[in-house]
């Protein structure tokens, strides 16, 4: 059954009339047209759909909108403020961590959680955390360089 | 011109699917069959007029106004049918135009892969953008530059050689100045562009004078990517757009015996379409479309034919040879084989693997009367347009395909099935429809790099020289099948088999299999000849580009040092190859503990002529290498009872960051040679280098891809 669901997205209160079982990913993309968050696998394996929920990196393809009702969602669209990139975004540009780029928003959101929560995280932990993502262009060494520009 | 490259040398066809896609829409089928017979024939029959003129660097019937648009802000828009799938074509083609027009890259904008707006430069495949499209864009841009200078000369009553031009500003000797922006509103110039064809030729800027090409221009779309503003095909949103889902057969070849299309009757605002074999649902959200699809699919009964399982794959291929192929012979192999001092005889097994681009197939279709526009991710916009024309029996001018920069291809997006499905759903729904395949659909209903079996027999004389070579590939194809080594007698053959999975292009396609088998065999032959693997290869190669990359890789890896100072459980391996006109060699070091290999480091040398963008080339070489590591160690599509059992990333293992070894990439820049494409060939040496290193470390030789030690 549909019902009115409220949540904060990038600091703005949003609401949508929908089924609580619906994936957060679909709501972001289809209801709010925030298409920066990508579909990759639908089973939480690839990380393309990663957003922050109350600051925690979360796979939006396996998270229902009902689970995050009333909580604060951050997506890739929320990082740039008044034309200024977040330094983790800039790092992905500086280190050429973009080939097709489709996986990059998800990578950046997980990296953002590291930047905020574990800014001095050692390399081994960065590698373990970022290994939860897939880049099929296999641009991994550049992605690691980008994260290490800001973390560790 | 100096960068021209004979396209006829390369067989484009071998990168194509062997089977056409077939859409059997009931409503259109009778007319369709009457008109054409098959979808494939149709695709040939209705190719736009320009396709036949693709060969050569400048099309004779191309006029400047088809290729360029001059804007009053002083920028120039360039049109091309090529697509950007992450390999860097957008940046590279922008560099090509900027170079010849003496502009910065930010003064050029590229409109790519819009069948209505862009001249047809062909699809994006076979590493053809660098050797074919870059020269074509450069030739056209050089003609434009000369035309503009001539025009300014006329306007200022000067001679063309008296006009100084740089950065979009023209100056005559008497100090008159004109800008590109001013020229853009000059109607006589606009008319001149319509009359100026490329047939006359032009002078392009030589490599030694390059200012934009040859430099590490960063990817132009990076900022859009990192902000989430980038609009990939699946991100296309149109007013009033709904979302589609498709009912798929339960297994390969399954046919419906019954289905209840009213199973979703309790759901409001759902459009259900059945047309021939095709059943789909459309709703305001993809979640609701999936609910309806699931309800209908649950009501279906299917007749499921037998289908071979992957455990029987290699037996199946050997037992079902449809064409043995014609042997290509040089010398008398059997004589060499009979008289050999030592003989080598081995078989190699190559699994099916999949491209698995991060963005699955996606399309948004919009009808306007009998006109349809489809935004979709494909490497072949013109082929997809043909598929749409065929499926809906439309005149060619009624179909427009637009390919936004796409989330990965790797040879896996040559087909238009998702575009056709989206268009069928949109037609039924009477509104734009977005269809994005699930990962499971992508893993099941897209296509695969062909599996194969390879047989090799080789003969050595008493001095350890290779004197005979027989190489047969069953099913996986003929790319790079000819050995680059100097061998007096050779027989090569490509056999075709009845194959269980839909198969087609892949990054460097069959050369991934053929180079793996050959370079693995070369290692075993070196051991039989009691020779170092590097020395054995060098001994059988003439001086030239392959030998150069082999030496460069060995030198930077410190091959001889690594061999002599080997630690327990560790081993090193080397391999090389050439394909599509470029040359690669890799050295790998692995550690094998309790039967588990770990790749510690790889040094790869690569040469593809004059480097046009060293930054992007490095990304491509490294990405191909790491992608190849997946095919070497993990990736295998498994199936049974007509279903793919490795149908998502939890079951189909691909390389991740933790798998990446220490990497050293060595790029040889041959500014004296024509540039060729560098996104494919760097994948071919990594698997055999690792295989050889594992054998060196463990004494266990795996002759299968992926490598199996147990």
Residue in A36, A48, A77, A136 to test binding to B, most B beta-carbons within 10 Å: A136
Q: What percent of chain B has pLDDT over 70?
A: 92
What domains are defined for chain B?
49-222 (3.30.365.10), 233-303+361-436 (3.30.365.10), 320-353+448-705 (3.30.365.10)
CATH homologous superfamily of A87-150 equals [2Fe-2S]-binding domain (1.10.150.120)
Judged by CB atoms closer than 8 Å, whether chains meet at A96 and B654 is answered as no
Nearest Cα residue to B382 out of B370, B396, B364: B396
In degrees, rounded to 5, the angle at the alpha carbon of residue A61 between the alpha carbons of residues A60 and A62 is 90
> CA-CA distances (angstroms) from residue B411 to B66, B380, B504, B506?
28, 10, 8, 4
- Extract long-range pairs of B273-276: CB within 8 Å, 24+ residues apart: B273/B424, B273/B425, B273/B428, B273/B429, B275/B25, B275/B26, B275/B27, B275/B424, B275/B428, B276/B23, B276/B24, B276/B25, B276/B26, B276/B27, B276/B29
Strand B321-323 versus strand B570-579 pairing type: unpaired
Strand B108-112 versus strand B270-275 pairing type: unpaired
| CB < 8 Å to B654, chain A | 134, 136
Asked if B688 and B625 touch (Cβ cutoff 8 Å), the reply is no
| CB < 8 Å to A95, chain B | none
Task: Measure in Å the smallest separation between the Cα of A82 and chain B Cα atoms.
Answer: 12
Mean pLDDT of A63-81: 98
What is the arrangement of strands in the sheet containing B582-593, beginning at the earlier edge strand?
B570-579, B582-593, B596-607, B662-668
> Cβ-count burial of B615 within 10 angstroms (0-12 exposed, 13-18 middle, 19+ buried)?
middle
Token code pair at residue B54: 């693709």
Mean pLDDT of A133-146: 98
Q: How far is CA A27 from the centre of its chain?
A: 14
Token code pair at residue B514: 């053929």
Indicate the domain borders of chain A: 3-78, 87-150
Judged by CB atoms closer than 8 Å, whether chains meet at A43 and B439 is answered as yes
- Chain B residues 473-502 with CB within 8 Å of chain A: none
Handedness of CA B441, A73, A105, B662 (dihedral sign): negative
d(CA B379, CA B505): 11
Nearest Cα residue to B372 out of B277, B238, B271: B238
Residue with tokens 């194509």: B16
Residue B77: partners with Cβ closer than 8 Å, 6 or more residues away: B68, B69, B70, B71, B108, B109, B110, B111
d(CA B627, CA B618): 14
> CA-CA distances (angstroms) from residue B393 to A11, B28, B41, B117, B619?
50, 7, 14, 22, 42
Residue B297: partners with Cβ closer than 8 Å, 6 or more residues away: B247, B248
A/B interface, count of CB pairs below 8 Å: 187
A62 and B CB contact within 8 Å: no
CATH placement of domain A3-78: 3.10.20.30
| CB < 8 Å to B235, chain A | 29, 35
Mean pLDDT of A92-120: 98
d(CA B32, CA B224): 42
Residue with tokens 């841009």: B141
Q: Which regions of chain B are under pLDDT 50?
A: 1-17, 28-58
Length of chain B: 710
CB contact burial B565-586 (16+ within 10 A = b; e otherwise) = eeeeebbbbbbbbbbbbbbbbb
Task: Measure in Å the smallest separation between the Cα of A50 and chain B Cα atoms.
Answer: 12
What ipTM score was computed for the predicted complex, to two decimals? 0.99
Residue A34: partners with Cβ closer than 8 Å, 6 or more residues away: A9, A28, A75, A77, B228
- Chain B residues 630-669 with CB within 8 Å of chain A: 630, 648-650, 654-660, 663
Nearest Cα residue to B17 out of B39, B47, B37: B39
> Cβ-count burial of B135 within 10 angstroms (0-12 exposed, 13-18 middle, 19+ buried)?
buried
d(CA B402, CA B269): 29
Judged by CB atoms closer than 8 Å, whether chains meet at A26 and B285 is answered as yes
Task: Measure in Å the smallest separation between the Cα of A7 and chain B Cα atoms.
Answer: 19
Asked if B419 and B378 touch (Cβ cutoff 8 Å), the reply is yes
d(CA B693, CA A5): 57
- Chain B residues 556-615 with CB within 8 Å of chain A: 615
Asked if A39 and B644 touch (Cβ cutoff 8 Å), the reply is no
Q: What per-residue confidence (pLDDT) applies to B21?
A: 56
Q: What per-residue confidence (pLDDT) applies to B27?
A: 54
* Continuous segment of H or E residues that includes residue B360: none
Judged by CB atoms closer than 8 Å, whether chains meet at B408 and A137 is answered as yes
Handedness of CA B115, B119, B120, B121 (dihedral sign): negative
Q: What per-residue confidence (pLDDT) applies to B391?
A: 95
Q: Residue A141: which of B622, B630, B656 has the nearest Cβ? A: B622
CB neighbourhood size of B188 (10 A): 10
- Chain A residues 72-101 with CB within 8 Å of chain B: 75-77, 79-80, 85, 89-90, 92-93, 96, 98-101
Judged by CB atoms closer than 8 Å, whether chains meet at B218 and A96 is answered as yes
d(CA B52, CA B27): 32
Token code pair at residue B647: 């149908």
A134 and B CB contact within 8 Å: yes
Judged by CB atoms closer than 8 Å, whether chains meet at A140 and B660 is answered as yes
Q: What per-residue confidence (pLDDT) applies to B386?
A: 96
d(CA B648, CA B593): 29
A16 and B CB contact within 8 Å: no
Q: Which residues pair with B19 in a beta bridge?
A: none
Residue B313, SS3? Answer: helix
Residue A112, SS3? Answer: helix
Residue with tokens 């194809």: B477
Nearest Cα residue to B28 out of B272, B399, B392, B420: B392
């Amino acid at each position: 059954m549909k019902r009115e669901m409220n949540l904060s997205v990038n600091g703005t209160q949003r609401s949508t009339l929908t089924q609580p079982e619906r994936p957060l990913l679909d709501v972001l993309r289809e209801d709010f047209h925030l298409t920066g968050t990508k579909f990759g696998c639908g089973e939480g394996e690839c990380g393309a759909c990663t957003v922050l929920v109350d600051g925690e990196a979360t796979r939006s393809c396996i998270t229902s909108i009902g689970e995050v009702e009333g909580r604060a969602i951050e997506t890739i669209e929320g990082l740039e403020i008044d034309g200024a990139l977040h330094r983790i975004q800039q790092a992905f540009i500086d280190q050429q961590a973009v080939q097709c780029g489709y996986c990059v928003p998800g990578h950046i959101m997980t990296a953002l959680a590291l930047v905020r929560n574990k800014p001095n995280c050692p390399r081994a932990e960065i590698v373990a955390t970022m290994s939860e993502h897939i880049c099929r262009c296999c641009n991994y060494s550049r992605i690691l360089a980008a994260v290490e520009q800001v973390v560790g | 011109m100096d960068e021209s490259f004979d396209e006829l040398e390369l067989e484009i066809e071998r990168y194509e699917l062997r089977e056409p896609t077939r859409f059997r829409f009931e409503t259109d089928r009778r007319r369709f069959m009457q008109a054409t017979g098959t979808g494939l024939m149709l695709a040939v029959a209705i190719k736009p007029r320009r396709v036949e003129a693709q060969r050569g660097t400048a099309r004779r019937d191309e006029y400047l106004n088809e290729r360029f648009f001059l804007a009053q802000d002083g920028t120039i828009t360039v049109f091309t049918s090529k697509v950007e799938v992450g390999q860097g074509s957008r940046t590279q083609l922008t560099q090509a135009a900027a170079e010849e027009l003496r502009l910065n890259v930010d003064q050029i904008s590229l409109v790519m892969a819009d069948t209505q707006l862009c001249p047809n430069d062909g699809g994006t495949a076979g590493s053809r953008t660098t050797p074919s499209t870059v020269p074509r864009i450069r030739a056209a841009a050089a003609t434009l530059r000369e035309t503009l200078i001539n025009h300014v000369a006329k306007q200022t009553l000067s001679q063309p050689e008296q006009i100084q031009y740089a950065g979009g500003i023209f100056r005559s000797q008497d100090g008159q100045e004109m800008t590109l922006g001013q020229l853009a509103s000059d109607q006589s110039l606009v008319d001149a562009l319509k009359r100026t064809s490329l047939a006359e030729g032009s002078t392009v800027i030589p490599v030694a004078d390059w200012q934009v090409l040859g430099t590490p221009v960063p990817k132009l779309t990076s900022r859009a990517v990192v902000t989430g503003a980038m609009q990939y095909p699946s991100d296309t949103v149109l007013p009033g757009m709904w979302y589609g889902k498709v009912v798929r057969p339960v297994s390969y070849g399954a046919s419906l015996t019954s289905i209840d299309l009213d199973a979703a009757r309790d759901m409001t605002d759902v459009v259900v379409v059945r047309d021939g074999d095709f059943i789909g649902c459309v709703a305001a959200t993809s979640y609701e479309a999936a609910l309806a699809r699931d309800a209908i699919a649950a009501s279906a009964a299917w007749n499921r034919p037998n289908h071979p399982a992957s455990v029987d794959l290699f037996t199946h291929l050997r037992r079902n040879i449809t064409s043995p192929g014609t042997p290509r012979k040089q010398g008398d192999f059997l004589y060499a084989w009979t008289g050999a001092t030592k003989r080598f005889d081995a078989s190699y097994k190559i699994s099916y693997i999949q491209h698995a681009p991060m963005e699955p197939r996606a399309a948004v279709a919009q009808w306007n009367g009998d006109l349809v526009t489809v935004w979709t991710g494909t490497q072949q916009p013109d082929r997809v347009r043909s598929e749409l024309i065929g499926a809906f029996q439309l005149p060619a001018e009624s179909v427009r395909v637009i390919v936004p920069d796409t989330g990965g291809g790797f040879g896996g997006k040559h087909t238009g099935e998702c575009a056709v499905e989206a268009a069928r759903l949109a037609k039924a729904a009477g509104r734009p429809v977005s269809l994005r395949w699930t990962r499971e659909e992508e893993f099941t209903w897209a296509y695969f790099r062909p599996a194969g079996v390879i047989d090799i027999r080789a003969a050595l004389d008493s001095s350890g020289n290779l004197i005979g070579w027989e190489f047969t590939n069953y099913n996986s194809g003929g790319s790079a099948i000819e050995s680059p080594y100097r061998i007096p007698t050779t027989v090569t053959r490509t056999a075709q088999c009845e194959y269980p999975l839909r198969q087609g292009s892949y990054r460097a396609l069959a050369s991934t299999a053929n180079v793996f088998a050959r370079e693995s065999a070369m290692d075993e032959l070196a051991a039989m000849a009691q020779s170092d693997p590097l020395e054995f290869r060098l001994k059988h190669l003439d001086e030239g580009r392959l030998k150069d990359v082999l030496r460069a890789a060995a030198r930077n890896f410190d091959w001889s040092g690594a061999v002599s100072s080997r630690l327990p459980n560790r081993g090193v391996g080397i391999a090389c190859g050439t394909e599509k006109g470029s040359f690669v060699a890799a050295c790998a070091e692995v550690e094998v503990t309790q039967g588990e290999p770990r790749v510690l480091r790889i040094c790869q040398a690569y040469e593809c002529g004059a480097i046009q963008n060293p930054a992007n080339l490095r990304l491509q070489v490294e990405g191909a290498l790491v992608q190849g590591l997946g095919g070497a160690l993990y990736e295998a599509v498994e199936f049974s009872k007509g279903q793919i059992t490795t149908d998502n990333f939890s079951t189909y293992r691909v390389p991740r960051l933790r798998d990446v070894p220490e990497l050293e990439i060595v790029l040889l820049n041959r500014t004296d040679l024509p540039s060729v494409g560098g996104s494919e060939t760097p994948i071919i040496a990594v698997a055999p280098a690792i295989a050889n290193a594992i054998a060196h470390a463990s004494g266990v030789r795996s002759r299968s891809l992926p490598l199996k030690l147990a």
